Amino acid sequence: MGARSVLVLSLLCVWGAVRAEEGGHDQYKTPSFCGKLECPRYHVEQDFKSFELRVYEATQWVSTPVNLNVFGTGKAFRRLFKYITGSNSEGLKINMTVPVLVYLPINNPSANATMSFYLTPTLSPPKPLDPDVFLGNAGETRVYVKSFGGYAFDYEYAKQAKLLSEELLAHGIQFDDSAYERAGYNDPFTFFNRHNEVWYLAK
Ligand SMILES: *[C@@H]1O[C@H](CO)[C@@H](O)[C@H](O)[C@H]1NC(C)=O
Ligand SMILES: *[C@@H]1O[C@H](CO)[C@@H](O)[C@H](O)[C@H]1NC(C)=O
* DSSP string computed for the chain: --HHHHHHHHHHHHHHHHHHHHHHHHTPPPPGGGTTSB---EEEEEE-SSSEEEEEPPEEEEEEEE--STTHHHHHHHHHHHHHBT-BTT--B---BSPEEEEEESS-TTSPEEEEEEE-TT--PPPBSSTT-EEEEE-SEEEEEEEE-S---HHHHHHHHHHHHHHHHHTT--B-TTEEEEEE---TT--SS--EEEEEEB-
Question: Which ranges of the chain have pLDDT less than 70?
Answer: 1-26
CA neighbours within 13 Å on the CB side: how many for 59? 22
CA of 169 to the centre of ligand 1 (A): 41
> What per-residue confidence (pLDDT) applies to 16?
46
Is pTM beyond 0.95? Reply is: no
Q: Distance between CA 120 and CA 197 in Å, rounded?
A: 20
Q: Are 152 and 131 in contact (CB under 8 A)?
A: no
> What per-residue confidence (pLDDT) applies to 34?
97
Which ligand lies nearest the alpha carbon of 68?
2
Q: Whose CA is nearest to atom 5 of ligand 2?
A: 65
Which ligand lies nearest the alpha carbon of 35?
1
> What per-residue confidence (pLDDT) applies to 2?
52
Residue 157 main-chain phi, psi, to 5 deg? -60, -45
Who lines ligand 2 at CB under 6 A?
Answer: 65, 110-112, 132
Give the Cβ contact number of residue 96 at 10 Å: 15
Summarised one tens digit per residue, pLDDT across range 77-96 is: 999 999 999 999 999 999 99
> What per-residue confidence (pLDDT) applies to 108?
79
Closest ligand 2 atom, residue 112 Cα? 1
List the domains of the chain with CATH numbers.
44-201 (3.20.80.10)
Q: Are 102 and 77 in contact (CB under 8 A)?
A: no
> What per-residue confidence (pLDDT) applies to 25?
55
Give the Cβ contact number of residue 120 at 10 Å: 14
Residues in the chain: 203
Q: Distance between CA 176 and CA 202 in Å, rounded?
A: 6
Amino acid at 21: E
Give the Cβ contact number of residue 31 at 10 Å: 13
Q: Distance between CA 51 and CA 77 in Å, rounded?
A: 27
